[in-house]
């Protein structure tokens, strides 16, 4: 069985409560932390087969990843921060903090190697500008594919924690993700060498989300 990619939207953050996108890089709410506690039990089936966790470098996604998978970091593994997983908006709530800030706040349990000094830049000339989201999403899938290929047909899990709007481009599906919702994918049969490296959602995952609302 090839590696599974488990894609998760972050838990409720402060800006979600009243849709206040002026809040800079918001953290999780009390409800968001409770959502993570509940989901942790439901994610127990991923267990020791999780080989890597990738997260957007925004605080809400970092906090979600750490809360959902405490055993992963307790084992000495680090959550890898991937700038291309950040949300597509240019508002304060969708703009992250510097590597130095994140290192001071979260310490050694995160892998910061992919964070460049300008990773928070969302100007028109930046790859993080909204109009570049499809390119970012494609590059993310290719990056995940490169990880998956190291494991061949091993039954292992790759976890990705990111944002609602960005997920439309990453998964090429406009069905909205709820907070802490997980969907599971494998690479499409023709994705081994394709430029797009498209995902295919698994039947079990489709069944889990059968009640989701359209985005």
C-alpha dihedral over 90, 28, 158, 4, to 10 degrees?
A: -100
Please report whether residue 20 resides in a domain: no
Query: What's residue 211's pLDDT?
Result: 57
The confidence score (pLDDT) of residue 43 equals 87
DSSP-assigned beta bridge partners for residue 5: 158, 185
Buried b (16+ CB within 10 A) or exposed e, 190-203: ebeeeeebbbebbe
| 38: in domain | no
Torsion of CA 105, 67, 156, 51, to 10 degrees: 20
Q: Choose among 109, 78, 3: nearest CA to 46.
A: 3
pLDDT at 48: 79
Task: Tell me the per-residue pLDDT of 136-182, one tens digit each, with 9 for 90 and over.
Answer: 999 999 999 999 999 988 889 999 999 999 999 999 998 899 999 99
55 lies in some domain: yes
| pLDDT tens by residue, 78-122 | 999 999 999 999 999 999 999 999 999 999 999 999 999 999 999
With respect to residue 34, please indicate whether it lies within any of the assigned structural domains: no
pLDDT at 16 over 60: yes
> Is 41 domain-assigned?
no
Does residue 44 register a pLDDT over 80? no
pTM: 0.94
Instruction: Give the residue from 169, 212, 180 showing the smallest Cα distance to 7.
Output: 180
Is residue 84 situated within a structural domain? yes
Can you give the pLDDT at residue 202? Answer: 95
Assess if residue 63 is contained within a domain.
yes
| Cα atoms in the Cβ-side hemisphere of radius 13 Å centred on 192 | 6
Domain CATH number, residue 78 = 3.40.50
> Within 10 Å of residue 57's Cβ, how many Cβ atoms?
25
Range of the domain at 63: 4-15+50-180+190-208
Q: Do the domain assignments include residue 69?
A: yes
Give the strand pairing for 110-111 and 4-9: unpaired
Q: Using the Cα atoms of residue 114, residue 119, residue 124 and residue 129 in order, give the sign of their dihedral.
A: positive
Query: Chain-centre distance of CA 103, in angstroms?
Result: 19
From the list 48, 184, 183, 161, the residue with the least C-alpha distance to 110 is 161
Q: Structural domain tally of the chain?
A: 1
Structure confidence by residue, pLDDT tens digits, 90-100: 999 999 999 99
Buried b / exposed e across 63-77, counting CB within 10 Å, b at 16+? bbbbbbbeebbeeeb
């Amino acid at each position: 069985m090839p590696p599974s990619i488990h894609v998760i939207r972050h838990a409720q953050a402060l800006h979600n409560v009243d849709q206040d996108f002026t809040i800079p890089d918001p953290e999780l709410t009390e409800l968001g932390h409770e959502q993570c506690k509940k989901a942790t039990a439901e994610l127990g089936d991923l267990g020791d087969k999780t080989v890597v966790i990738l997260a957007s470098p925004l605080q809400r996604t970092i906090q979600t990843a750490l809360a959902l998978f405490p055993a992963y970091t307790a084992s000495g593994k680090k959550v890898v921060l991937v700038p291309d997983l950040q949300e597509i908006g240019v508002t304060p709530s969708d703009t992250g903090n510097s590597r130095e800030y994140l290192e001071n706040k979260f310490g050694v349990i995160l892998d910061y190697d992919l964070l460049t000094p300008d990773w928070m830049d969302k100007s028109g000339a930046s790859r993080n500008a909204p109009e570049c989201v499809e390119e970012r999403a494609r590059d993310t899938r290719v990056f995940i594919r490169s990880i998956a290929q190291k494991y061949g047909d091993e039954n292992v899990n790759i976890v990705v924690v990111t944002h609602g709007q960005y997920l439309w481009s990453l998964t090429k599906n406009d069905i909205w993700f709820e907070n802490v919702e997980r969907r599971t994918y494998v690479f499409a049969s023709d994705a081994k060498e394709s430029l797009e490296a498209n995902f295919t959602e698994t039947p079990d995952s489709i069944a889990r989300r059968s009640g989701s609302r359209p985005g």
